Copies of this chain bind each other. A is one copy, B any other.
Amino acid sequence: MYRIGVDLGGTNIAVGLVDENNTILVKRSRPTNPKRSSEEIADDIVALCFEVCEGAGKSMSDVSNIGVASPGIANCDSGEIEYTNNLPFRCFNICEYVRQRTGVTNVALANDANAAALGEAVAGAAKGTSSSVMITLGTGVGGGVIIDGRILTGFSFVGGELGHMVIEKNGALCSCGRRGCWEAYSSATALIRMTREKIEEYRKAGKKTIMSEQERITGRTACDAMRANDEAGREVYEAYISYLATGLTNIVNIFQPEVISLGGGVSGEGQSLIDALLPLVHSEQYGRAHAKKAELKIAQLGNDAGIIGAAAL
């Protein structure tokens, strides 16, 4: 039997046919066009489910289950997408909708960050573990927590919002309205803000940095400058790493997961990011003298994590 994973995003709907080894056999996608109605978007999800079956020469009767990963509040019990910020869904029962149109009775729903964490747990950086955490360092800081092989959703299905843990009381304003959230210090957006602030600080002090010569400031600007022995770049990178390590150490102390995997744009820095973080986390974590240590890894599945995780629901 095969499984289907649906990754519903604000830009694209990506659907994959997945085999029992968590390998994606066929993948298809369509633009989400989020200005449309919920039903129109859901119809495209259904159409893509049939497309991936056809693409593999299979029929829907070969599919044991379908999983949908959605942004926003995904009620895993009822199958409803309760609320999404950028999509029209409001208390829309996507599971029932897909069930009726595919004939597949086993249709499940999860939040997209949580599904990606499950994907990494079953087939990626945390494969073989029963407890793991995935952190996505992108526009925001997303989180997904797997405990005993299951997604932590909380009773309101909004759990696992690790990016919205305050690490600096009364600190920088976060997109969620709180001040001092981890996201406000460890997202790619935050890294860009810190880079801009440093360039301005150097400019005012009449000090030179190669970062001020960049036309466009990105999450890579400071890292590239540091590697070119630029002092300002090094200062930004070290501050960023310090904040990132603070949140990661909190997660270790709270969950003691076997693996924390890092995804999203910033994780493109690869092993050097891990090497910079690990000494800070290990030296600060609770019970450091006696407890086993969590592994810190770069996520492995990239954009496929959502599809593979959804299929594993």
CB <8 Å contact, B169 and A246: yes
A293 contacts which chain B residues (CB < 8 A)?
Answer: 156
Tell me the count of chain A residues lying within 8 A, CB to CB, of chain B.
50
Output the nearest chain B residue to A83 by Cβ-Cβ distance: B290
How far, in angstroms, from A290 to B71 measured CA to CA in the complex?
Answer: 14
Q: Known interface pairs A82-B290, A290-B82. Does A256 touch B158 (Cβ–Cβ under 8 Å)?
A: yes
Interface residues in chain A, defined as those with a beta carbon under 8 Å from any beta carbon in chain B: 73, 82-83, 129-131, 147-148, 150, 152-162, 164-169, 171, 176-178, 180, 242-243, 246, 249-250, 253-258, 284, 286-287, 290-294
Give complex CA distance A147, B158 in Å: 14
Task: Verify B286–A176 contact, CB threshold 8 A.
Answer: yes
Q: A255-B152, A256-B153 are in contact. Are A166 and B250 (CB under 8 A)?
A: yes
A-B contact pairs, 20 of them (CB 8 A): A83-B287, A83-B290, A130-B155, A154-B256, A155-B257, A158-B253, A158-B291, A159-B253, A159-B256, A160-B254, A161-B253, A161-B287, A165-B254, A166-B167, A166-B250, A167-B169, A168-B168, A169-B242, A178-B284, A254-B254
> A73's contact among B254, B257, B290, by CB below 8 Å, is which?
B290
Interface contact A287-B156, CB-CB below 8 Å: yes
Residues in chain B near residue A176, CB distance under 8 A: 286
